[in-house]
Amino acid sequence: MRVLVAAGGSGGHVFPALAVLEELHMEGGHSLGWIGHPQGLEAKVVEKRPWIEFFPLVSRGLPRDRPWSWPEALLRNLRAVKEARRIMQRFKPDVVLAMGGYPAVAPVLAAKTLGIPVALHEQNAVMGLANRFLSNFSDLVLLGFPQVEGCPRHAKTLFTGTPVRREIAAIPRALGEEFLVLGGSLGSKALLEAVVGMAPKLTEISDLKVRLVVGRAADPTEITRKLQKKGVHAEAHVFCERVEELLARARLVLTRAGGSTVAELACAGRPAILVPWEGAANGHQLRNAEFLHKTGGFLLVRERELSFLADLIAVLWSDTQRLERLGEATRAQARPDAARLVVEALKHLGKERA
């Protein structure tokens, strides 16, 4: 089977797509391609995996705060549809897997004009604007949550969960010894500022080691220096593709609530404090966090409540049994077979076309 992925923009789209292609690669006998931005995270990820053929495609989103830029963006995206058609005519995919967001728009429209089946994946509990549009041109919408607000009623849907790489699902159950702070692949300035601000209280917690992934939100050297100067044992990184190594060392995680992130935490069985980004489109991170908090394991803290975070961390850190119970509760929500379910759905679509 020939499978073409359209994914980019952030790790939340890229790594679930990679999990699916890795599953197909392990089977063998498939030709795998990826359409993405030549300067995006996806290009760096595919570069390390020569078994994926990469096709560069430049497209643009429509920034809500800069409507004057929309005409130029729309023109660029129209050109992208033509370029995507040429890519597909060359690669000849049996099916296209689109991971949502604006990088998927041109490839989905191009596939539709060529009669190529499209599976669209939505990672969050609220469907984004681009995916609501793309669902009209998709043969199947794959859902990361059992209920997704905003998904059109006419769409044919299948709940698969969000694909997670096998290495994450294989993390040992035993909790690690570090406090891990994740802001997503783009980083979170609010979370970093909160951690630096509560540094004096963190020094009172015995054996606390802090590891941070800062993304684009800060200079990791500067964050490390600030925390160490305040007496916190800390180490910061810009980004880490092998998140399974970070999660394996984690005892407790402070993180945003993107769909891919929470899926990885569940598969790893790590207790987590979710601080949803208030600026997320349609409040999807808050909806993700609320759903997971109600079903158990994940703790929910709003941005306005960050001043109380140090006290919560101190209480949790000293209660090993509670952390273990939380970890088991998060693991109970995991969908480690999500990538396999997506693969089976793609095969079914491919057979229908044949």
DSSP calls for 129-178:
HHHHHHGGG-SEEEESSSS-BT--TTS-EEE------HHHHTS-SS--SE
Strands (E), the chain: 2-6, 31-36, 52-56, 95-98, 118-122, 140-143, 157-159, 178-182, 209-213, 233-237, 250-255, 272-274, 298-300
Top mean pLDDT of 2-6, 38-42, 304-308 is at 2-6
pLDDT higher than 60, residue 71: no
The token duo for 235 is 């180490």
Query: What is the pLDDT at residue 302?
Result: 93
Where on the phi/psi map is residue 282: left (φ > 0), alpha (ψ -120 to 50), or beta? Answer: left
pLDDT band of 79, cuts 50, 70, 90? confident
Better-predicted residue by pLDDT, 184 or 201 = 201
Mean of pLDDT over the chain: 90
pLDDT higher than 70, residue 60: no
The token duo for 146 is 């059992």
One-letter-per-residue 3-state SS of 81-133 = HHHHHHHHHHHCCCEEEECCCHHHHHHHHHHHHHCCCEEEEECCCECCHHHHH
Summarize pLDDT for 255-265 with one digit per residue, the tens.
999 999 999 99
pLDDT higher than 80, residue 353: no
Candidates 3.40.390.10, 3.40.50.2300, 3.40.50.1370, 3.40.50.2000; CATH matching 167-331: 3.40.50.2000
CB atoms within 10 A of CB 75: 11
The residue extents of the domains of the chain are 2-163+336-353, 167-331
CA distances (Å), origin 148, targets 102, 259, 273, 332: 19, 12, 22, 20
Q: Cα-atom radius of gyration of the chain, to the nearest Å?
A: 20
Better-predicted residue by pLDDT, 223 or 282 = 223
| Residue range 2-163+336-353 in CATH 3.20.20.370 | no
Summarize pLDDT for 172-181 with one digit per residue, the tens.
999 999 999 9
Average the pLDDT over 20-30 and give the result.
96
DSSP helix/strand/coil, 272: strand
| pTM as predicted | 0.91
Measured CA to CA, the distance from residue 136 to residue 168 in angstroms comes to: 33
Sheet order of strands, 157-159 included: 52-56, 31-36, 2-6, 95-98, 118-122, 140-143, 157-159
